[in-house]
Structure 1
Amino acid sequence: MTDAESLHAAIHEEVALQAYDASWSDRFVAERDRLLALFPLIFVDIEHIGSTAVPGLMAKPIVDLLAGVETMAMARSLTEPLREAGYTTSAEFNATLTDRQWFMRCADGHRTHHLHIVVQGGPVWTRHLRFRDALRASPVFAARYAALKAELAVRHPTDREAYTSAKTAFVNSLSGDD
């Protein structure tokens, strides 16, 4: 499958939320350790983000990794090495991004991991961790987010972009971008 075909399939893949699965944490650790072994001097840190990083929260079963590097030039230089390591991406999409690079891993025709490469300690890094930590710290916020996600999954069952976009205001309210 080409990168363009992979991206098209990802965008139009059904938004299927699942109950929290404790194995998501193990899948994060395994992939983090694999990436750190493959690129020992590149990643400053790798964090588990997204809904799979919040115990008890329903989620799409895709583990999100936030990988910190020193510069965006370093992030951009990883495209081919990450492809060789089993990731795919959209060169066109990544070319539109100034503050991150995005990759995905698939198995059996479904996404298993998203890799977001950003400058460690920069605004995107901080925003993602602030949001994750707010959900982990507050059952009320986590419940509100779960309800929003469930509603949006029904409203946008095959439009990942619309689903993600519709969550933006809530995410920004908890990550300090409001």
Structure 2
Amino acid sequence: MPAAPDLDEPVHLAPYDPAWADAGRALVDRLAAALPVPAEVEHIGSTSVPELDAKPVLDVQIGCAPGDTDAVVAAVRGLGFEHLGESGVPGRQYLRWRGERPANVHVVALGGPLWADNLMFRDYLRARPQAAARYARAKWEAVRAAGRLLAYSDRKAATVAELMAEAREFGG
């Protein structure tokens, strides 16, 4: 099933920017302060991994009780984020901001598989610079071959799967 055309946006990568860490912390704090229910908020994705080239878009994950998802989504929408539903990932609500500092917010079940996998992947790349470098190479190859989000994601999917398998071994 094809995604909505507005989800398949142009993609570009940038060399690592140390300012991403501070911007990620600031966004985590802003989101956490806006939430009306208990939740955990984490900076995830490539901008959360030191020295990793990335799309210059912050990714933040909010973990909450499944019954609190609507309240969390409403709070994030209240900050001006656009809600795009699951966007092809069952169990996740996806929101994005495309302003001066672009950001994605992923609302998932706290402690669930998406929550755990995103943190495990981030932590593995932080702990293993060689794995992060391999991921960066795959990302650059994918962006050169495909300038739009869905094709870019497809082209790097095999490397992501390999790294996730390594991360599970590393974590276990």
TM-score normalized with structure 2 length: 0.85
Measured in 2, the distance between the counterparts of 1:127 and 1:77 equals 23
Alignment-derived partner of residue 166 in structure 1: 155
Structure 1 residue 96: Cα displacement: 5.8
Note if 1:107 corresponds to 2:99.
Answer: yes
Structure 1 residue 175: Cα displacement: 2.3
* SS of aligned partner of 1:46: strand
Alignment-derived partner of residue 73 in structure 2: 79
Structure 2's unaligned 5+ residue stretches are none
Q: Percent identity?
A: 35
Q: RMSD between aligned alpha carbons?
A: 2.2
Note if 1:12 corresponds to 2:22.
Answer: no
Dislocated runs of 4+, deviation >6 Å: none
One of 17, 21, 24 as aligned partner of 2:20: 24
- Say if 1:175 and 1:37 are closer, same or farther in 2 by CA, change over 3 A: same
TM-score normalized with structure 1 length: 0.82
Measured in 1, the distance between the counterparts of 2:12 and 2:89 equals 27
Q: Which has the higher contact order (CA 8 A, sep 6+)?
A: 1
Q: How many residues align?
A: 164
Query: What CA deviation, in whole Å up to 9, does each residue of 1:72-112 have, x standing for no partner?
Result: x3223433332221100224xx386531110001215xx61
Measured in 2, the distance between the counterparts of 1:127 and 1:149 equals 19
- Which letter maps to 1:167? K
Note if 1:53 corresponds to 2:48.
Answer: yes
Structure 1 residue 114: Cα displacement: 0.5
Measured in 1, the distance between the counterparts of 2:72 and 2:44 equals 20
